[in-house]
Structure 1
Amino acid sequence: MTMTDGPRLTVVPTPAPGPRPVPLPRVRPAAPTRRRPAPEHELRWTDPVTGAQGFLVVDTLVGGLATGGTRMRAGCTVSEVADLARGMSTKTAVFGLPVGGAKGGIDFDPKDPRATGVLERFCVAMRPWLDRHWVTAEDLGVPQHLIDDVFLRLGLNQSFHAAIGRSPDPERTLRRVQDGLAARTADGLLVGEVIGGYGVAQACLGVVTALAQHPAATTVAIQGIGTMGGGAAWYLHHAGVRVVAVADAAGTLYRRTGLDVPALLELRDRYGEIDRSRVPDDVEQLPRDAVLELAVDILVPAAISYAVRAENVAGVRAKVLVEAANSATTPEAETALVARGVPVVPDFVANAGAAAWAWWLLQGQVGTDPDEAFDRLAEEMRPKVARLVAAWRADRVAPRQTAYDMADANRQALAGAEITIP
């Protein structure tokens, strides 16, 4: 598999020397936690056929709309869905998107042959929300093509249905959205499949800018080489950053001078693991969790939630964490990292690329040209992350707090706004 690299991957120049850094205070505040109001709506559902439990949590509505994917996994809980819905609310607010946050979840094994039927019955039960208020999409255990198939059978055309219905010409808007979702990069990959990883790479480059480093002098370790982690590794490699380690389920691959990321990604099997029998001899093969303990500039947890937690946080030696996976660090672990002087760029900023692109597409702000979408995301993501890290370096304000402040300011600006879909 290959991914395109174009003008948007221009190497970031080394920033000119600036004023002397502000001396750091001796006492470093813990990572911020904030009490959020209860979600605006919480629905629970029981499948009449299998007994599976399903949940829809609408954390916030902006102009009557909320967006967030639908996941399916055995053990999914309403509290998990509520946490993810809150994250979506913050993610859309940080990027100034005129939509609130929501999430759907079903406690069922997605590999069970009955899973599609469970998903379809869940969507039928949530039809009033899908008709008017909730824009959903793929998530853990629910690929986009499955969501699209279910929507077609229900006569809803596309999972953007609730927003498209607000257009003065829904058929024209639907065609525009479908064309955008079908857009491919120069080497044939769907933009929607790679733009999330591209956004994470841009978040890392925002860190590079704030640290006043050159990409070639910056080392990155990435946990996870799926859609998000693999895409981030690819785009960072082509931006000149030294990706020195990647990890999959089989372990960590490490090379101090930098990995040949494109060659390694070509060795992935259908389960997303790299064929170890074909890995070059000069690449060290380490245990899976070793990726979290390498002395690198940036660590990108892109595999699972809560990868960095109280019991392993002491081993983290990166200078900065960039969360690509949702909730990649626990609150306790983030508090410990911040106390040690390690800032964490939160997931609701770093992994927002796909959500932002989808909404720009819906509103006609980007079209079918991949470069247009990538350039817009780079222009939005890189300065935001640079601002988070700059506030940390100057005043030791945790990036999460600065991001919350950005989200709150955007929410106030959007309050009472009328949402238009062209």
Structure 2
Amino acid sequence: MTIIQNPGDTPQVTAQTLPPIPPALAPTPAVRRSEPYLRLLWTDSVTGAVGYLVVHTLRGGLATGGTRMRAGCTLSEVEDLASGMADKTATFDLPVGGAKGGIDFDPKDPRAVEVLERFCEAMRPWIDQHWVTAEDLGVPQHLIDAVFDKLGLGQSYHAAIRRADDPAATLVRVRKGLNAAVEGGFLLGDVIGGYGVAHACLAAAVSWGRVPAATTVAIQGIGTMGGAAAYYLHEAGMKVTTVADAAGTLYCADGLDIPALLDLRDGYGEIDRTRLPEGIEQLPRTAVIAADVDILVPAAISYAINPDNSFDVRARIVVEAANAATTPEAEAMLAARGIAVLPDFVANAGAVAWAWWLLLGQVDDIPENSFDRLRTIMHSKVAQLLAAWTDHGVTPRDTGHRWADDPAPIMGPVIIS
């Protein structure tokens, strides 16, 4: 394992020797950093796969962020994602810093689970005490929870749960919340992030004075996040005309039957083309970016919108369901054309915000409580972002960064009950 730390950081922290952290510690204020607090590089001795942990910020000795697995995952990608997680936690006033894990390996490879197990074992000093991780691209929540359970750590929120006054009761609450059944045959933990994205889209329509039925949407990616967003947009009456997965783009001008398509997905979020309903046009995978819609939701890979394809975007607004879905250069090009980008650290932050509300006992396993809280907060934040854009020309990302730089103060110790 290679440890690369920002030279200005003290004290030196290694994966082998970690300072003890009190169970309840008042976090220091979130401060924007130009460099990560810590980078760890790991090489799998069996497959040669390379993995990364980047801790961008620590608050109260904790950082949170999912673990992704994809062929071609890079350190710089994980750094960007960790920075975005720091923005999410600060923007939503969560008492934790931002981090991210990534593994350069194909999640469809039959050896993928064993690679994930060895990665988590190598990162165990951090996941035991400091890093609260969860699902991400290529790593579903049930899989990472199974790995943590095999390691004797119970669940992927372990580093936070162990600090609770009653860790056993907190673990029960977390598991009940994650596995609470919701309408459509889904689990609350699987859909809460996409529910937040859907309401970011609905809040955008409200800011224009548009009713859902008069608003069209295209979604790139139909897995956990994109699929849930599509489902709740469809339920709200928005017309989802275009969705894309790894096999291509599906289009219907009158609106797709989203529940029917979701039933055709495999374990990797890809739709079985042999069972498509009639009336659906099959287009190239890249066609989703150029869809003639009001709202474009990139919900698959990072850097999906870049300088090479930004001029193809025809939507009025881009709502980032994927982390780092738009490159800075592409976002500037879109802004010059009057196209706003709702940044990931607001639009898709529902999952991490909800996880910490659950950990802190602020929500429970009653889905309506979680939905109500997230919907209210998301609509308020998006309304403020778009008001600054339309009234003053300040991009949503710039406004969001100001929030992240000046979060609400956290008074007293953070105690997980």
Using the size of structure 2 for normalisation, the TM-score is 0.86
Task: Provide the residue aligned with 2:240 in structure 1.
Answer: 243
Task: After TM superposition, give the deviation of residue 271 of structure 1 in Å.
Answer: 5.2
CA distance, structure 2, for counterparts of residue 263 and residue 142 of structure 1: 24
CA distance, structure 2, for counterparts of residue 284 and residue 105 of structure 1: 35
Task: After TM superposition, give the deviation of residue 402 of structure 1 in Å.
Answer: 0.6
Task: Provide the residue aligned with 1:123 in structure 2.
Answer: 120
| SS at 2:406 equivalent | helix
Residues 1:419 and 2:414 aligned together: yes
| SS at 2:156 equivalent | coil
Task: Provide the residue aligned with 2:7 in structure 1.
Answer: none
Task: Provide the residue aligned with 2:395 in structure 1.
Answer: 398
Task: Provide the residue aligned with 2:85 in structure 1.
Answer: 88
Residues 1:200 and 2:197 aligned together: yes
CA distance, structure 2, for counterparts of residue 110 and residue 278 of structure 1: 25
Change over 3 Å in CA distance of 1:90–1:218 after alignment to 2? same
- In terms of mean alpha carbon deviation, does 178-187 or 47-56 score higher? 47-56
Residues 1:152 and 2:153 aligned together: no
| Alpha-carbon contact 1:299-1:321 (below 8 Å) kept | yes
Change over 3 Å in CA distance of 1:148–1:334 after alignment to 2? same
Task: Provide the residue aligned with 1:212 in structure 2.
Answer: 209
Equivalent of 2:352, from 352, 355, 362?
Answer: 355
Residues 1:330 and 2:337 aligned together: no
Cα-to-partner distance string for 1:231-277 (whole Å, 9 max, x where unaligned): 11111111121222222334333333333322333344555444445
CA distance, structure 1, for counterparts of residue 104 and residue 275 of structure 2: 38
Query: In the TM superposition, what are the counterparts of 1:354-373 in structure 2 within 5 Å?
Result: 354-373=351-370
Query: In the TM superposition, what are the counterparts of 1:7-406 in structure 2 within 5 Å?
Result: 36-269=33-266, 272-276=269-273, 278-406=275-403
Task: Provide the residue aligned with 2:17 in structure 1.
Answer: none
RMSD of aligned alpha carbons: 2.1
CA distance, structure 1, for counterparts of residue 140 and residue 247 of structure 2: 24
Change over 3 Å in CA distance of 1:230–1:122 after alignment to 2? closer
| SS at 1:123 equivalent | helix
| SS at 1:413 equivalent | coil
| Alpha-carbon contact 2:196-2:347 (below 8 Å) kept | yes
| Alpha-carbon contact 1:89-1:100 (below 8 Å) kept | yes
- Aligned identity (percent) is 66
Change over 3 Å in CA distance of 1:316–1:275 after alignment to 2? same
Task: After TM superposition, give the deviation of residue 107 of structure 1 in Å.
Answer: 2.7
Task: After TM superposition, give the deviation of residue 187 of structure 1 in Å.
Answer: 4.3
Whichever residue aligns with residue 242 of structure 2, its letter is: A
Whichever residue aligns with residue 371 of structure 1, its letter is: E
Q: Which runs of 5+ in 2 are unaligned?
A: 1-31
Whichever residue aligns with residue 338 of structure 1, its letter is: A
Q: Which runs of 5+ in 1 are unaligned?
A: 1-34
Whichever residue aligns with residue 409 of structure 2, its letter is: A
Task: After TM superposition, give the deviation of residue 132 of structure 1 in Å.
Answer: 1.5
| SS at 1:379 equivalent | helix
Task: After TM superposition, give the deviation of residue 278 of structure 1 in Å.
Answer: 4.9
| Alpha-carbon contact 2:87-2:345 (below 8 Å) kept | yes
Task: After TM superposition, give the deviation of residue 193 of structure 1 in Å.
Answer: 1.1
- In terms of mean alpha carbon deviation, does 44-53 or 235-244 score higher? 44-53
Change over 3 Å in CA distance of 1:341–1:137 after alignment to 2? same
- In terms of mean alpha carbon deviation, does 169-178 or 201-210 score higher? 169-178
| SS at 2:181 equivalent | coil
| SS at 2:54 equivalent | strand
| Alpha-carbon contact 1:206-1:384 (below 8 Å) kept | no
Using the size of structure 1 for normalisation, the TM-score is 0.85
| SS at 1:253 equivalent | strand
- In terms of mean alpha carbon deviation, does 201-210 or 251-260 score higher? 251-260
| Alpha-carbon contact 1:220-1:241 (below 8 Å) kept | yes
| SS at 1:418 equivalent | coil
Task: After TM superposition, give the deviation of residue 130 of structure 1 in Å.
Answer: 1.6
| Alpha-carbon contact 1:88-1:102 (below 8 Å) kept | yes
| SS at 1:87 equivalent | helix
Whichever residue aligns with residue 420 of structure 1, its letter is: I
| Alpha-carbon contact 2:224-2:269 (below 8 Å) kept | no
| Alpha-carbon contact 1:246-1:291 (below 8 Å) kept | yes
Task: Provide the residue aligned with 1:6 in structure 2.
Answer: none
Cα-to-partner distance string for 1:56-94 (whole Å, 9 max, x where unaligned): 111111111111112223332222211111111111111
| Alpha-carbon contact 1:180-1:368 (below 8 Å) kept | yes
Task: After TM superposition, give the deviation of residue 192 of structure 1 in Å.
Answer: 1.0
